[in-house]
Amino acid sequence: MAYRLQQWPERHRTLLGVVFLLVIATVLFGMMRLHPTWVAYDEARSDHARVEKKLDESQWPRDSERMRKLLDSYQVTLNGRKGGEPGLKKSVDDAMKKATAMFEVQIKKEYGVSPEDSGIVNFMEKASQIEYKDQFNRLYTELEGKGVRLDQPVFGMDESTSEPFKYQMRLKLWTVEALANLVLKNNLRFSRESGAGSRNRNNPSMITVLPMRAYVIDKNDKAPYLLEFPVRMEIQGSMANFASFVNALQEEGIFLPMSQMEMRTVLPNLRQPPKANQDDEMVLQNVVVTVVCSAFFRPHGEAVKMEVKQKREMLPRGA
């Protein structure tokens, strides 16, 4: 064969060499370029088959027209109809505004209103330690005059308390003030620490500021969109008065929802046992209730969708 090739004209031998190189180049091109493309195609085909299987197993329609109608229905649910009932989005926004509007009057009163921030940013930036101390002393004096004693080991704060964000300290005190006034307004009283009972006025009242909770939409958010300020209280009184207190937690202009409750009855005086009702049932009118109520604040005063990422856990007694 080698002898015969040598007998070929030089032009033919050159052409054969070029053809041989083209074959090698074609093989290399297929290995380097076409093979990855084929692998990608094979993976895409497998993914498509997997998606098809999921669609077959799901309840979603495969018909595009039915899917479009379903999407339109969801859009109406989300945004509502023109001139009709509001959609879910507006309902959530309204609920957020109601939940966080309780502090607005006080903030506007003390920090003013500007077109840019409605006073919210002004409040967050200018709230000071001096303002907190003055607010605490006024609240302490006011509540002590009503028989409610705030003591740091139980209450969790005093005039010397210092935290990085002063506005949050003020919000905590406003929350306590609102709750304490509702308790007293509905003829309830605070229990006393150490089991001393309500007769020992030297013992601190059972009201505790719990750690603030922050809510974010995404775990990578730099700032929360909603802050919760929970307060735990142990209160005593009649069942009827407690029911009135619960109703008052969400009256007009007030939003202090209850997230936890533990109720127990007060043992009757054995010398004067309770009388039976018309059904010959013994009714214990007075109760002792431990509740956790919260106020809410939007740091930037903007209504955004609420998506709680933080798991709410039951707090142990004394936490």
- Domain of residue 163, CATH code: 3.30.70.60
- CA within 13 Å, CB half, 181: 10
Give the chain's domain count. 1
φ, ψ of residue 139 to 5 degrees: the values are: -65, -40
For 223-282, what is each residue's pLDDT tens digit? 888 899 999 999 999 999 999 999 999 988 899 999 999 998 876 555 556 566 566 665
Q: 45 lies in a domain?
A: no
Confidence of residue 205 (pLDDT cuts 50, 70, 90): very high
pLDDT at 197 over 80: no
Q: Which residue has the higher pLDDT, 2 or 42?
A: 42
Which domain, by its residues, includes 104?
Answer: 96-297
| SS3 per-residue string spanning the chain | CHHHHHHCCHHHHHHHHHHHHHHHHHHHHHHHHHHHHHHHHHHHHHHHHHHHHHHHHCCCCCCHHHHHHHHHHHHHHHHECCCCCECHHHHHHHHHHHHHCCCHHHHHHHHCCCCCCCCHHHHHHHCCHHHHHHHHHHHHHHHHCCCCCCCHHHHCCCCCCCCCCHHHHHHHHHHHHHHHHHHHHCCCEECEHHHCCCCCCCCCECEEECCCEEECCCCCCCCCCEEEEEEEEEEEEEHHHHHHHHHHCCCCCCCCCEEEEEEEECCCCCCCCCCECCCCCECCCEEEEEEEEEEEECCCCCCCCCCCCCCCCCCCCCC
Burial of 271: CB neighbours in 10 Å, binned 0-12, 13-18, 19+: exposed
Give a yes or no: residue 59 inside a domain: no
Greatest C-alpha distance within the chain: 134
Q: Which of 228, 234, 206, 213 is nearest to 102 (CA)?
A: 228
pLDDT tens by residue, 115-151: 445 568 888 888 899 999 999 999 999 999 999 999 9
Q: With the CA atoms of 137, 142, 147 and 151 taken in that order, what torsion angle do they form, in degrees rounded to the nearest 10?
A: -20
Q: pLDDT confidence of 176, banded at 50, 70, 90?
A: very high
Tell me whether residue 123 is in a domain.
yes
Is residue 303 in a domain? Answer: no
Q: Is 144 a member of any domain?
A: yes
- Higher-pLDDT residue of 42 and 183 is 183
Residue type, 220: N
- Give a yes or no: residue 134 inside a domain: yes
Q: What is the pTM of this model?
A: 0.67
Q: Is the pLDDT of residue 183 over 50?
A: yes
Sign, CA torsion 161/166/170/173: negative
Position 74, amino acid: Y
Exposure letters 131-141 (e unless 16+ CB within 10 A, then b): bbbebbeebbe
In a domain, 66, yes or no: no
Confidence of residue 198 (pLDDT cuts 50, 70, 90): very low
Is 23 contained in some domain?
no
Selected residue with higher pLDDT from 95 and 317: 95
